[in-house]
Structure 1
Amino acid sequence: MAMAAELHGSDTSSPSYSVTSRIARVDIIRDMAAAKVNWRALDGDDFLHTPYQRFELLDAWQQSIGKHEGAVPLIVVAYDVNSRPLVLLPLVSSRENGAKVARFMGGKHPTFNMALWRRDFAETISSTELDALITAIRMQPDGVDVLAFAQQPKQWRNVANPLASLAAQPSTNPCPMMTMVPGCKPEERVSTSTRRRLRNKERKLQALPGYRYFVATTDDDINRLLDSFFVIKPQRMALSKLPDIFSDPATKAFVRDACLAKLPSSGRAIELHALECDAELISIFACVADGERFSTMFNTYTISENARYSPGLILLRYMIDHFGDLGYSSLDFGVGSDEYKMTFCKDDEPLTDAFIPLTARGKFAALGMSSLTHAKRLVKHNPALMQMAQLLRNALSR
């Protein structure tokens, strides 16, 4: 049935237009607090989103890194005729090389970027309804030139991701992942041979006073672990001749605020898992989790002699068993083909990028973004080009 889809911004109203759609209204919200109620309404088993799109995590990012970088919230919410949210796109807009670009919130920190969908709507959305969402953004008076929707999963919880079909191309990297059968034996998650190898290494660590694996649940434990993390991480990055991406005050604020942020049900927006002894933090992994998938975000490990015993791999084995015992069915360690990921992950989660022009200027910006992504992917998947890029990066970092 045809109905008017009214578009509203925070400072002005756009003209209404008619579509054949379940979408009765589209709002553009410019303030995180104003979007919170709608965000909360799209949480639960009847809705579809990754744990990276939780309000608590993205609000922590926007209040720190987002504001520091000049990103302005552009939150798109579509409603049905009963004013119930159908989908929420957690976007920010900013000026990049002369063009106004809208991206998913979170910058480089989420592995997966995705809208928050009512599950039945995502399963049956039409091209007309997708067009209505894009048109709502195009009609805004502040003039977004291009939508840059990077690192989108093709599907989530066995439902195709509608936005991943729009002008999509493969992302620079896929995401290594591991599937688990809920209720399976530990040896079916991590092989007996790998367990034996890690157990032999761990014996050295088990001799340390106070050695333990644990999940930080109190503010005091979270702050204590992060204090150690921010000391160890720059030293570890320097040893690898890599820039310390956590040195920026806004990034530190985001990490701490998101780790401390409590979810409405239970747990934190970012969980911290650690191996430690009385003398030091040995290894730490941060992750997000949603009951079915856990995804790691950042990590580090000691620079002491205890680093020889593969504490990162030992910690990951503990985490896999922890979440496996809770009935989780999959996990990932973020994009990239690091060797430690390949120890556990035998499959890939394919990711797509979509660069959608909304204006004439946006056509040039979208073409440039698409070409750059294609070139990066070509380098990443060509060993000779990758070696040249690595040599260049090392030379520039000296």
Structure 2
Amino acid sequence: MPAAPQGASGPTLPMIVEVHHRMEPLEREWRSLERNNGNSLHQGYDWCAAWIKTHDTQPAIVRATDGDKTLFILPLEIVRHNMVRTAQFIAGRFSNINTGLFSPEFRSLTDEITMRSIGGRLIESLRDKADIVTLRNVPLLWRDEPHPFRYLPSIVNQNHAFQLPLLETFTATIAQLNAKRRRKKFRSQVKRLEVSGGFDHIVARTPVERSALMELFFQQKAVRFKALGLPNVFHAPETQAFFHLLLETDGGGRDTPLQLHAIRLKGEHEGKIAAIAGLSRKGDHIICQFGSIDESVAAEASPGELLFWLMIEQACAEDATLFDFGIGDQGYKRSWCPVETVQHDILLPISAVGRFAVVAQRGVTRTKAAIKGNPRVYALLQRLRAKTGPSESTDD
């Protein structure tokens, strides 16, 4: 094989890039790649398999190999919208961070010319299947490591993500924040709940508990969205089936595609669930995928905030090093998170239609960013969207 271009290291350019339409033949190498700490759990085998099993979708899984070594896997699906065929990450509309799956050898490639050539290979592999490749919510720098595709054309996504580093103890962790104020708030929340009988922090363990709590989350979220005049992105039966299936999937050890935590009240509101959160864990990285509250009980105690305190305290005790609040700029996230991660959308046109779509997507993303920078305009837009039906994604 010819040598790689000057400045590159690792695999050489004559790698083979193929598209697969089934996950199962790739499972062994897929699971091997996903163990890398820098690869997002949203491209993990179990997460993608749950989506494919619950949705009528067209997988287009890109695998690059060099000899007998798998260099990367991009778990994509083809989605058609307004006559444009888009190759995008599987389950991307419910992903908080996307990286793809890359081997250490591929990550060692540092040459811009080499990487742009590989981008061309990616386009060629999908030429008859899609008009555009859209890789959303990709951090070009993640956990101090640059993304291999950082040289490909991209635009800053309108949503940022927020993280809390978990230090050696919970005390050290909250010392990064206003620890005195946060402890005072925690004591106040606990005291208010104790007046009415107390509470338990529960984790759903049995299939019956998980299913019941999942259904309750969907109910609470529907009420919340309606009260705010927002579309319910969890309303579709296939979306609900996806999350139910994730709950039943064993990630192995402490890893889990989805685990439900809740505040269950005692005494005056015996058995009532005041707050729910869904967490995923891969290695030392925990992501909060979603959360809900029941504002009809104990709202004055801010049970959602209380639940975050308890989950973060538990995460510290279980040797996690990063608690990720996911995408979306909200006050409670900023109050917890000293780290803000900028994400990008990588846009690669394939056809003439795709080139037009890239221009349109760039314009839409810039417009969304401008709207989100104006709270009054954003609130008005959300009310209008609520009247026209649910959104296709959670990050609009």
Letter in 1 for 2:331: E
Post-superposition CA distance 1:205-240 (Å, at most 9, x none): 235557211333332321221132233221222222
Aligned-pair distance for 1:376? 0.8
Distance 1:396 1:76, change over 3 A: closer
1:128 match: 114
2:264 aligned to which of 273, 276, 283: 276
1:347 maps onto 2:332 in alignment: no
2:27 match: 36
1:86 match: 71
Is the contact made by 2:161 and 2:328 (CA closer than 8 Å) also made in structure 1? Answer: yes
Letter in 1 for 2:243: V
Is the contact made by 2:293 and 2:304 (CA closer than 8 Å) also made in structure 1? Answer: yes
Post-superposition CA distance 1:277-305 (Å, at most 9, x none): 34211111112222332221111111323
1:308 match: 300
Letter in 2 for 1:2: P
Distance 1:266 1:242, change over 3 A: same
Post-superposition CA distance 1:46-87 (Å, at most 9, x none): x6311222111121112224x1xxx31111111222x12111
Pairing 1:87-102 to 2, within 5 Å after superposition? 87-102=72-87
Distance 1:366 1:194, change over 3 A: same
1:324 aligned to which of 316, 319, 328: 316
C-alpha distance in 1 between matches for 2:300 and 2:220: 16
C-alpha distance in 1 between matches for 2:186 and 2:381: 33
Distance 1:165 1:183, change over 3 A: farther
Is the contact made by 2:230 and 2:385 (CA closer than 8 Å) also made in structure 1? Answer: no
Superposition RMSD in Å = 2.5
Letter in 1 for 2:88: R
1:249 match: 237
Pairing 1:286-301 to 2, within 5 Å after superposition? 286-301=278-293
1:374 maps onto 2:366 in alignment: yes
Distance 1:352 1:141, change over 3 A: closer
Structure 1 spans left out of the alignment, 5+ residues: 4-19
SS in 1 for 2:327: coil
Pairing 1:127-146 to 2, within 5 Å after superposition? 127-132=113-118, 134-140=120-126, 142-146=128-132
TM-score, length of structure 2 as denominator length: 0.86
Post-superposition CA distance 1:161-181 (Å, at most 9, x none): 122431121101211222232
Aligned-pair distance for 1:91? 0.7
SS in 2 for 1:262: coil
1:2 maps onto 2:25 in alignment: no
Is the contact made by 1:23 and 1:78 (CA closer than 8 Å) also made in structure 2? Answer: no
SS in 2 for 1:57: helix
Aligned-pair distance for 1:353? 1.1
C-alpha distance in 2 between matches for 1:120 and 1:180: 29
Aligned residues between the structures: 376
Distance 1:329 1:41, change over 3 A: closer
C-alpha distance in 2 between matches for 1:370 and 1:234: 31
Distance 1:279 1:141, change over 3 A: same
C-alpha distance in 2 between matches for 1:134 and 1:276: 53
SS in 2 for 1:222: helix
Aligned-pair distance for 1:309? 0.9
Distance 1:316 1:189, change over 3 A: farther
C-alpha distance in 1 between matches for 2:23 and 2:216: 31
1:182 maps onto 2:172 in alignment: no
Letter in 1 for 2:345: D
Q: Alignment identity in percent?
A: 24
C-alpha distance in 2 between matches for 1:345 and 1:141: 41
Quick check: 218-227 or 191-200, which moved more?
218-227
Post-superposition CA distance 1:32-51 (Å, at most 9, x none): 22332221121324x63112
Is the contact made by 2:258 and 2:278 (CA closer than 8 Å) also made in structure 1? Answer: yes
Letter in 2 for 1:26: V
Letter in 2 for 1:21: T
Aligned-pair distance for 1:328? 2.7
1:107 aligned to which of 62, 80, 92: 92
2:159 match: 173
C-alpha distance in 1 between matches for 2:289 and 2:380: 28
